[in-house]
């Protein structure tokens, strides 16, 4: 008997709804704080989804309305690592899996997004937040620093804002998060806005998005001439896909394209 591709645990619900894979941290009593099991489960699900062409987007969220993710569980004796001899930690491995994803990741920020939770939100390609959500990097208040989070956060917001959040540990509101570009949208009706955003992704070419997201992530760290050399070859490959041929034909025939996804 074949093992299921995705499996849930008491701490992380993994569920596919149509073409969207939902990863929901279900530790509401701990403000959806990250455990090593949550991080490993997310990394496994994101990696496994890459081979499932019927999955077009991945939504990451927390249970309830109070917290998206409060960061590491400081009540745990091993909040930051389970093995000091292991060079690759669970959060780092999750951030690597997200970085390698060619499926769009969307954060549904349903409440407080703090510390390591900022890493989960920042590793996503887009984010929609509830009006009451707050965002913060309070690590300095407990004697540590948001080191790993910086890898995915530092290019999202202005340096002065990042410095202040890291050095003071004080949170910002959803309105401030929107202003500095930390999230795409803030809405009182979180799920309606999320579905609106998903709909705007899901009706587009799967092939273009898959290869396009790969391209977006590759060029981010490239110097100008390197990125030009890379993208001038990429654009030729885009035009060779069945979706590109269908898209151009549909445009010429003034009809809605019927994507095949390759």
Residues 96 and 146 in one domain: yes
pLDDT score at 33? 95
pLDDT score at 81? 55
Query: The domain containing residue 210 runs over which residues?
Result: 206-252
Residue 113 lies in a domain: yes
pLDDT score at 72? 86
Cα 262 from Cα 253, distance rounded (Å): 21
Specify the number of domains making up the chain: 2
Residue 5 lies in a domain: no
pLDDT score at 1? 44
Residues 179 and 228 in one domain: no
Whole-model pTM: value is: 0.93
Residues 89 and 178 in one domain: yes
Residues 233 and 144 in one domain: no
pLDDT score at 6? 87
How is the chain classified by DSSP, letter by letter? -PPPS----SSEEEEEETTEEEEEE--GGGTT-B-HHHHHHHHHHHHHHTT-TT--EEEEEESSSSEEE--B-TTSTTSS-S-TT-SS-HHHHHHHHHHT--S-EEEEE-SEEETHHHHHHHTSSEEEEETT-EEE-GGGGGT---HHHHHHHTTTS-HHHHHHHHHH---EEHHHHHHTTS-SEEESSHHHHHHHHHHHHHTS-HHHHHHHHHHHHHHTTS-HHHHHHHHHHHHHHHHTSHHHHHHHHHHHTTS-------
Residues 228 and 121 in one domain: no
Residues 100 and 210 in one domain: no
Residue 261 lies in a domain: no
pLDDT score at 85? 47
Encode pLDDT of 176-217 as tens digits.
999 999 999 999 999 999 999 999 999 999 999 999 999 999
pLDDT score at 40? 94
Q: In which residue ranges of the chain is pLDDT below 70?
A: 1-4, 75-88
Residues 58 and 149 in one domain: yes
Residues 94 and 158 in one domain: yes
């Amino acid at each position: 008997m074949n093992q299921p591709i995705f499996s849930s645990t008491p701490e992380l619900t993994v569920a596919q709804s149509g073409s969207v894979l939902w990863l929901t941290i279900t530790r509401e009593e701990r403000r959806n704080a990250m455990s090593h099991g949550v991080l490993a489960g997310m990394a496994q699900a994101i990696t496994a989804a890459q081979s499932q062409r019927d999955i077009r987007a991945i939504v990451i969220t927390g249970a309830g309305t109070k917290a998206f993710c409060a960061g590491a569980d400081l009540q745990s004796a091993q909040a930051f690592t389970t093995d000091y001899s292991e060079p690759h930690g669970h959060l780092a491995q999750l951030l690597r899996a997200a970085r390698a994803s060619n499926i769009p990741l969307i954060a549904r920020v349903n409440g407080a997004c703090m510390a390591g939770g900022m890493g989960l939100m920042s590793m996503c390609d887009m984010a929609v937040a509830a009006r009451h959500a707050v965002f913060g990097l309070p690590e300095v208040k407990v004697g540590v620093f948001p080191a790993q989070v910086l890898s995915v956060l530092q290019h999202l917001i202005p340096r002065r804002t990042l410095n202040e959040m890291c050095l003071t540990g004080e949170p910002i509101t959803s309105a401030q998060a929107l202003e500095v570009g930390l999230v795409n949208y803030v809405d009182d009706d979180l799920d309606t806005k999320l579905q609106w955003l998903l709909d705007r992704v899901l009706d587009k070419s799967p092939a273009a998005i898959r290869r396009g997201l790969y391209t977006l992530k590759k060029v981010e760290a490239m110097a100008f001439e390197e990125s030009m050399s890379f993208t001038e070859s990429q654009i030729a490959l885009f035009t060779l896909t069945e979706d590109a041929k269908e898209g151009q034909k549909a445009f010429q025939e003034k009809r809605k394209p019927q994507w095949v996804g390759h």
